[in-house]
Amino acid sequence: MVFPMRCVSCGKDMNSREKTAVCGFCMSKIRLNPKPYCVSCGRSVDKIKKRCRQCENIAFHFKSAHAACLYEGTIKDLLHAFKYKSNLSFADILSKLMIDFVKDNRETLRGLDMITSVPLGRRRLNSRGFNQSKLLADRLSEEFSIPYVELLNKRRHTGYQSELPKLRRLSNLSNAFEALDASAAKDKRVLLIDDVMTTGATLNECSRTLLASGAREVRCLVLARGA
């Protein structure tokens, strides 16, 4: 693996023997998503077994969603370098945070049949060369011996969700995804992986598509939760 000589978060020069992309100080600043979580969307809440206020009146298609970290600081820098500078070694650092989260929250994986990931559109996949969410999902699949199955295809380019007002994010995605193989998810419990969750619109639309193709249940796990 090739690591940068400077910390990707603060830019500090690092000793070449430090086999990591982030300095110890920036690594120590990563905030895990604090327990307990909203039972619906995985946001940190103050009381156990509660829904957060933001999703009190939303019926998501997924059964639950969990996030390992908060989308801020070091995580934002790491993810940005991973996605836009194509430093694939970051997949190990980032997936480790997700693996540690699962080890601490075993119910996330209970009874699952397969793992899949949110697909990129062809245009973005071609320009980036890889799907960051699939790389994270591959590591989880390997670690927990749950098969990774490619289940979804993105049918059209939808632009960046983060650039749209929250209310338009859902309609922007309508019918943006399709099942690759109509029977692959039939009666299966599926874990859907993505890098970042904010409103949950992307995960929701992917979950709807998976359920429509016969999946029994969809749960979501992301690296980081936006506010």
**13-32 binders of Zn ion (CB under 5 A):** 23, 26
**Of 9, 158, 172, 199, the one binding Zn ion by CB under 5 A:** 9
Contact criterion met (CB below 8 Å) for 68 and 97: yes
Tokens of 77: 């820098």
Phi, psi of 101 (to 5 degrees): -60, -45
Nearer to Zn ion, 14 or 151 (CB): 14
Taking the complex as a whole, the smallest distance from the CB of residue 67 to Zn ion amounts, in Å, to 11
Nearer to Zn ion, 44 or 161 (CB): 44
**41-70 binders of Zn ion (CB under 5 A):** 41, 43, 52, 55
Please name the residues in contact with 121: beta carbons below 8 A apart, sequence gap of 6 or more. Answer: 154, 156, 157, 158
Find the helix or strand (DSSP H, E) in which 41 lies.
Answer: none
Nearer to Zn ion, 188 or 225 (CB): 225
- Count residues binding Zn ion (CB under 5 A): 12
- Please name which of 158, 162, 9, 2 lies closest in space to residue 80, comparing C-alpha atoms: 9
Please name the residues in contact with 203: beta carbons below 8 A apart, sequence gap of 6 or more. Answer: 60, 62, 65, 118, 192, 194, 197, 220, 222
Taking the complex as a whole, the smallest distance from the CB of residue 204 to Zn ion amounts, in Å, to 12
The interface region with Zn ion, picked from 38-46, 87-95, 103-111, 209-217 by CB under 5 A, is 38-46
Taking the complex as a whole, the smallest distance from the CB of residue 181 to Zn ion amounts, in Å, to 31
**136-175 binders of Zn ion (CB under 5 A):** none
Taking the complex as a whole, the smallest distance from the CB of residue 160 to Zn ion amounts, in Å, to 23
With tokens 């109509």, the residue in question is: 182
* Site residues, Zn ion (CB under 5 A): 7, 9-10, 12, 23, 26, 38, 40-41, 43, 52, 55
